[in-house]
Amino acid sequence: MTADYAQLKIEYPDLPVVKKRAEFLELLKKHQVVIVKADTGSGKSTQVPKFLLESGLAAGGRIGVTEPRRLAAMSIADRLREELKDENLVSTRIRFLEEGPKDAPIKVMTDGILLQEFRQDRLFKMYSAIMVDEAHERSLNIDILLGIFKGVLKERPEFRLVIASATLDAKLFEKFYENSAVLEAEGRMYPVQIIFADPQENSSKSKGDSGLVEEARDAILALEEEGKDHLLCFLPTERDIQDLSAELIQKLDDKKFDVLSLFGRMSPREQKKVFQNSGKTRIVLATNIAETSLTIPGIAYVVDTGMARVSRYNPQTRIQGLPVEKISQASARQRTGRAGRVKPGVCVRLYTEEDFNDREEFTEPEIRRSNLSNVVLQLRSLNLSVEDFPFIQPPPRSAFRGAYKSLFELGALSSVERGARVTPFGAEMAHLPMDVALSAVLLRARNAGVLQPAIIVCSALSIQDPRLFPSEEPMKEKARRMHKGMGGHKSDFLTFLAEWNGFCREWNGTTWNALRKYCEKHFMHFLRCREWIDLYEQFSRILKVKFGSYVCPFDSFHRDNLHIALLTGFLGGVARRDRDNGCYRLVGGRDAYLFPGSDLAGKFPEFVLSAEVRETSRVFLTKASEIMPEWIIKVAKDFCTYRWFEPRWNPERGFVEAVEEVSFRGMVLSRSHRVDYGRVNPEEAARIFFLEAIVEGDMPRPFPFMQHNERVLEALRASEVRLRRWGICPSDDLQVDYLMERAPGVFSLQTLKEFMAKNTDKALRYTEEDWFHASETGMEHFESFKNNPVIAAAYRQKLAKAQEERKAAQHGGVVEFQKILDRQIRSELVFDSSKTWDGLSLEIPADFLPKLSPAILAHELSKWRAWMVEAFIRELPKGDRKKLEQKKDDLDDRFVDFLERNPQKSPLISLYEAFESFGSSEAALPVLNPQNEHHLMLHLSITSSEFSEKFPLELSPEWGACIFFDAVRPLVQKAALAMPVLGVSYGWKPQGALAMQTEEADFWQRFYRRTRLVSLEDSALKSLFEARFAFLNRRDESGWALRSLLAMTDAEKEKFTVDYLDEVLARFSGIEFARSRKVRSFADISSRETTAETNSREGLFRLVFDASYLGVTAFVRAWDAFREAFVGFRRGTKVSEKLLQLASRLAAEENLYARLRLISAFVLPEKASEWGEWKEGLSLPTVKNLREKFSSYFAGRFLKDHELKNARDTLSLAEKVRSDADSFDAIVSLQILLENFELLRYKRSFLAQAPEEKVERDDLLKLRARFKSR
């Protein structure tokens, strides 16, 4: 079958892209990615798949073709079947429809289908090539696919990707993909005359409610009167198409004209009517679905309204809406290109040329106009990493944090952390093509039985307010009364529903005339009401529901359930009344006010939900409703925080109760409900229960053991009087300890009854002997009673608990694991300001250190970051502190942004910069001293298998990357690390830790991992290699060269046996001679060589010994070359010039890594590709550049004299050093000074803000006057 595809005789029509066929096939051989930029009408959509089939790629898998729309996919597949004259060569797959054989070599599908296939086939192994058509549309699906392909191309070198469009930005794609090429082709075969609207007529024309439809109608009739021919008209919405169709059917002769509609939700059979020839002139009315990838035969005229419905996220309403907007210039050209395919054509644009020139050049990618929550949900549902995903035009990474938070609150993700999994609810949301907030609301509404009212409200939230508010009296007052009559529900959402029911009763799916009359009478916007109906129908189709009537009576659903469903999507819009300030406080801390036009205006409910927060002169809550706090708890139960106060014994209820406080994002929702405290804190509840109910006897009906115990206590008190000794009768606390030990798990009347039913009350009964004996050593010291039977149990319990906590936590805190750069790190949390280890202690594996810096730790550890922010705000003046408390989350977000931008800086500096970015305070910056607040320090304990003891490190948020490096520098050689610093690496090597280029550090890290576990125990192999090293007169002091030879791969172990090595590494003694004398060692050769040999001696010696670092294979080959050279010296024959040149270079080269590169190229040429480019020397900042950085600090007033002197002395010393090692140390010292100075600039900001040159204007004038008088 593969051979048949290769031998197919493919015929091509006369289209512009066909002329580029040979060039395309040539590019396909040389490049993985071919970008085809061909104008509309060039034939790229139908001919390029045939080029791919002809290329023979079908032998390795299918050829996939993706289209953004179902209609385009079906029409292109039909066209390919027709041109290839074989239906078995092409299959089609769109949603709910599959045509053609499953093994057809060409598969045409929508991009959504290919994304679904990606879930099962991560590398698209079914395909040998994929063509992404109409890539300029940059839908979310297309952008995700283009990012996925970047990884597929790396993993599959044989895979080919073709990106095709008429109007894409080819340079952008070419830069994005490596190994790509651009192919350009011409477009239309016939000219198209473009007619713009007349500017004067366009500006003076009143379009009214349906002006766009009327203009299109007039343009169509004028064109058909001029010359009857097939016409395509682009309209923004389905409703516009239906209206214009109705008007044209009345105006045109149905015997001569076919008026056809074309939009996305039509069935495939209905859509195909536009391609069938009925013998009549076709007038096709289409949405932007007809812009791309399909050719409607014979179109001569195009009427372009210049508008389209576009998915766009509105940050103010926090909703992904579908507004009607102006199209881009690229889309306008696409529409024009629908004409001029088979004859000269005309395109009438219903907008001016000036309007065209003012439009955006390209359509804005969907990812730029989408709620990033939608993007994150799609990527996570495909199990793709959001942070590492290669977007063509990536959004700011910091913006994803808010998306994670939103999706977590909506219940779509399992957590706010990177890599959070999609929940089943989130998976359902991902399949709904709408804003995540609306999808969450509608899914919750469906489960609660309030789907129809929820769809009505959600579609209303997606459009502009449909109510009209005239500005002049008396109409203004009349409209106000009319709209107020629809309210009175304490909910703008129910007002929307009342308005909907009002016009739907008049219209109810009949004529638009009825709706228009209703809107005029009731001050409603006709077009917005139509758009409202459109969205209602669209949402209903997406959810696959159909209701009996458009009208939704108020008694047909539960109002509370509707508002609870709305809460699901708009938790960020919850606000509580602030009586002191006469406003509302949003959950984020911002002050806001009810919108004067809201149904809630003047009512002041305690809690409100707002679907839109609008900021004008004030922050207003629009589209709001009253809500109950228990609704918030019901929806956001997992995001609420709970605290309990005032626990006390309630004899009537029979348990210890406490006041429960429930908060949501700092907003207190409830603080009056009293709950069973034993379910929350059973230990403390038990203590209160035993003290107040049992010991003090506050119980309606005492138990028999209580009466028994009271008699025992009376006897003990009598003994105290009789013996004149106090302390025999136990205190209340001791009795509670005793009872808690004897009755574990008892904290209420019910649990006590259950305990006694199971165990009787014997354990709870006192005996005089026990308490009497316990008193003999004195009741005042608890420690003295640990051997007493009465209190031994309580003592043992406390002791055991303390020991258990000590085992789990080194510092007596809570042990948990922190996720840092996707790695789980053990930590201990201590809340004790009196201890130096107060705060967070981390156990850091030494091999993790190179990836860390203080800024990275601050970015990853939200607790540490939060403590810094709190301490920072606490040090501010009272006025600033109060303002910033409300913006704490915003400050943290900016803090994270600065940490991401500057991972080398001190976290504290990033916090200062984040605070400055607010620009709201003129006060001096607060001064934090982490040394005095132990919880602001990170207490690190660095562990490694290379050393037994843990390395303690107190990391300050004042540290930058260089100070951190300097602190862990002693561990580099000890733990064999490579620490990145100042653009180079300070890393381990056998001779000791040094600064080196990153490539060299990577080599030594690989070397260490290869050799570290090799045993140096005595063996035949070890003895053999040591003997050869002895012959070379070189002691392997470190043992690393020997380890390298012993670290053989499995293949090397099979080949290099002891016998084999003994033969190929034969010693010179007794075999070779120099000047007729036997050579017993390398030293003998040195003493007898010629001058030429002397020049090469050290180089040849280095060749052999250094080759051992590259492994046994390199060592054996180097030994052969070494012996060959000395055979030549002995016999006087010519020694390889290449070998002598190498020896000369090795003798002169002092850098071991540089020598290894030269040796590897000589003895291991097959591994040449493993060595990247390398430039000797260190790329460190120059002292001159650093001096320039210091200049601003020298000019300031905030540094002290000794600090300035230290900086100048260090700069002078740095200029004198010559070696790389000394230079590195000097540059590190200077960089540490710079990090400290930058921090001091903020800490001493009151000085930095008062430079010496600043003189008051009045003083300057006085000085000037004084000099004039002289």
pLDDT of 1003 reads 93
Q: What average pLDDT score do residues 152-175 get? A: 87
pLDDT at 802 over 70: no
Identity at 246, one-letter amino acid code: A
Compute the distance between CA of residue 81 and CA of residue 574 in angstroms, rounded to an integer.
57
Which string of b and e fits 1218-1251 if b means at least 16 CB within 10 Å? eebeebbbbbbbbbbbbbbbbbbbbbbbeebeee
Omega of the bond leading into 474 within 30 degrees of 0 (cis): yes
pLDDT of 690 reads 94
- Return the domain boundaries, the chain: 2-185, 192-365, 371-431, 451-569, 570-635, 682-779, 814-950, 1000-1170, 1183-1248
The pLDDT confidence band at residue 1093, using thresholds 50, 70 and 90, is low
pLDDT of 444 reads 93
pLDDT of 780 reads 37
The pLDDT confidence band at residue 807, using thresholds 50, 70 and 90, is very low
The pLDDT confidence band at residue 1036, using thresholds 50, 70 and 90, is low
Question: pLDDT of 1006-1018, one tens digit each?
Answer: 999 999 888 888 7
Compute the distance between CA of residue 432 and CA of residue 543 in angstroms, rounded to an integer.
8
Q: What average pLDDT score do residues 731-737 get? A: 90
Q: What average pLDDT score do residues 75-82 get? A: 90
Pairing, β 192-196 against β 947-955:
unpaired
pLDDT at 198 over 60: yes
pLDDT at 822 over 60: yes
pLDDT at 609 over 90: yes
Q: State the DSSP code for 395.
A: P
pLDDT of 1128 reads 79
pLDDT at 1220 over 50: yes
Q: What 3 state SS string does 814-829 have?
A: EEEEEEECCEEEEEEE
pLDDT at 1270 over 70: no
The pLDDT confidence band at residue 313, using thresholds 50, 70 and 90, is low
pLDDT of 1073 reads 44
Cα–chain-centroid distance for residue 497? 38
φ/ψ of residue 121, rounded to 5: -125, 90
pLDDT at 794 over 50: no
For the domain made up of 192-365, the CATH class stated in words is alpha beta
pLDDT at 635 over 80: yes
Q: What 3 state SS string does 327-394 have?
A: CCHHHHHHHHCCCCCCCCEEEEECCCHHHHHHCCCCCCCHHHCCCHHHHHHHHHHCCCCCCCCCCCCC
pLDDT of 876 reads 84
φ/ψ of residue 37, rounded to 5: -105, 100
Q: How many residues does the chain have?
A: 1270
* Inter-CA distances, 1044 with 283, 1048, 1112, Å: 80, 8, 7
* Inter-CA distances, 615 with 205, 315, 372, 493, Å: 34, 11, 22, 20
Please check whether residue 898 is in contact with residue 913, taking contact to mean a CB–CB distance below 8 angstroms: yes
Cα angle 1217, 1222, 1223 (rounded to 5 degrees) comes to 70
The pLDDT confidence band at residue 131, using thresholds 50, 70 and 90, is very high
* Inter-CA distances, 183 with 37, 158, 174, 789, 1243, Å: 6, 20, 11, 93, 59
- Between helices 1137-1148 and 1152-1163, what is the axis angle to 10°? 170
Q: What average pLDDT score do residues 1110-1116 get? A: 93
pLDDT of 363 reads 82
pLDDT of 985 reads 93
Question: pLDDT of 1057-1090, one tens digit each?
Answer: 888 888 888 776 434 444 444 445 555 544 555 4
Helices and strands, counts by H and E, the chain: 52, 37
CATH superfamily of 2-185: P-loop containing nucleotide triphosphate hydrolases (3.40.50.300)
Q: State the DSSP code for 462.
A: T
Question: pLDDT of 685-707, one tens digit each?
Answer: 999 999 999 999 988 888 999 99
Task: Give Rg (Cα) of the chain.
Answer: 41
Identity at 98, one-letter amino acid code: E
Which residue in this structure is represented by tokens 């045109």? Answer: 252
Compute the distance between CA of residue 686 and CA of residue 1141 in angstroms, rounded to an integer.
88
**711 φ/ψ sector (left φ>0, alpha ψ -120 to 50, else beta):** alpha
pLDDT of 708 reads 93
**181 φ/ψ sector (left φ>0, alpha ψ -120 to 50, else beta):** beta
The continuous run of DSSP H or E covering 131 comes out as: strand 127-133
Pairing, β 574-578 against β 583-586:
antiparallel
DSSP notation for 1112-1164? HHHHHHHHHHHHHHHHHHHHTPPPPHHHHHHHHHHHH---HHHHHHHHHHHH-
pLDDT at 898 over 60: yes
- Encoded tokens for 1145: 């270079």
The pLDDT confidence band at residue 575, using thresholds 50, 70 and 90, is very high
Please check whether residue 63 is in contact with residue 129, taking contact to mean a CB–CB distance below 8 angstroms: yes
Q: What average pLDDT score do residues 676-681 get? A: 91
* Inter-CA distances, 1061 with 148, 576, 1020, 1027, 1127, Å: 50, 84, 11, 12, 20
pLDDT of 1035 reads 59
Tell which residue, 223, 264, 167, 260, has the closest CA to residue 349: 223
pLDDT of 782 reads 38
The pLDDT confidence band at residue 922, using thresholds 50, 70 and 90, is low
pLDDT of 950 reads 87
Compute the distance between CA of residue 266 and CA of residue 712 in angstroms, rounded to an integer.
90
Q: How far apart are the first and last CA of the chain?
A: 108
pLDDT of 1252 reads 40
Q: Say whether 726 sits in a helix, a strand or coil.
A: coil
Tell which residue, 676, 478, 630, 454, has the closest CA to residue 547: 454
Tell which residue, 242, 155, 140, 178, has the closest CA to residue 35: 178
pLDDT of 789 reads 45
The pLDDT confidence band at residue 833, using thresholds 50, 70 and 90, is low
pLDDT of 1164 reads 92
Please check whether residue 122 is in contact with residue 91, taking contact to mean a CB–CB distance below 8 angstroms: no
DSSP notation for 567-636? HHH-GGGEEEEETTTTEEEETTS-EEEE-TTSTTTTT--SEEEEEEEEESSSEEEEEEEE--HHHHHHHS
pLDDT at 272 over 80: no
Counting Cα atoms < 13 Å in the Cβ hemisphere of 441 gives 24
The pLDDT confidence band at residue 755, using thresholds 50, 70 and 90, is very high
pLDDT at 578 over 70: yes
Please check whether residue 788 is in contact with residue 774, taking contact to mean a CB–CB distance below 8 angstroms: yes
Q: What 3 state SS string does 200-252 have?
A: HHHHHCCCCCCHHHHHHHHHHHHHHHHCCCCEEEECCCHHHHHHHHHHHHHHC
Contacts of 1151 (CB under 8 A, 6+ apart): 1176
* 371-431 under CATH 1.20.120, yes or no: no
Which residue in this structure is represented by tokens 């293949």? Answer: 1051
The pLDDT confidence band at residue 617, using thresholds 50, 70 and 90, is low
The pLDDT confidence band at residue 786, using thresholds 50, 70 and 90, is very low
**The 814-820 sheet, strands edge to edge:** 814-820, 823-830, 839-845, 938-944, 947-955
The continuous run of DSSP H or E covering 1091 comes out as: helix 1091-1107
Count Cβ atoms below 10 Å from residue 57 Cβ, excluding itself. 22
Tell which residue, 1043, 1104, 1032, has the closest CA to residue 1068: 1032
Helices (H), 724-763: 732-742, 749-759
What is the average pLDDT value for the chain, to the nearest integer?
83
- Between helices 512-522 and 492-507, what is the axis angle to 10°? 130
Strands (E), 984-1062: 984-987, 994-996
Percent of the chain with pLDDT over 90: 30
The pLDDT confidence band at residue 388, using thresholds 50, 70 and 90, is confident
The pLDDT confidence band at residue 959, using thresholds 50, 70 and 90, is very high
pLDDT at 1044 over 60: yes
Tell which residue, 341, 305, 322, has the closest CA to residue 458: 322
Q: What average pLDDT score do residues 42-50 get? A: 89
Q: Say whether 972 sits in a helix, a strand or coil.
A: helix
* C-alpha torsion sign, points 24, 27, 28, 31: negative
Q: What average pLDDT score do residues 881-907 get? A: 87
Tell which residue, 366, 369, 377, has the closest CA to residue 140: 366
Beta bridge pairs of residue 585: 576, 591
- Encoded tokens for 741: 């030990």
pLDDT of 32 reads 93
Instruction: Kindly report which listed range (54-58, 355-359, 723-727, 769-773) carries the lowest average pLDDT score.
Output: 723-727
Compute the distance between CA of residue 371 and CA of residue 675 in angstroms, rounded to an integer.
41
pLDDT at 314 over 80: no
Compute the distance between CA of residue 126 and CA of residue 62 in angstroms, rounded to an integer.
6
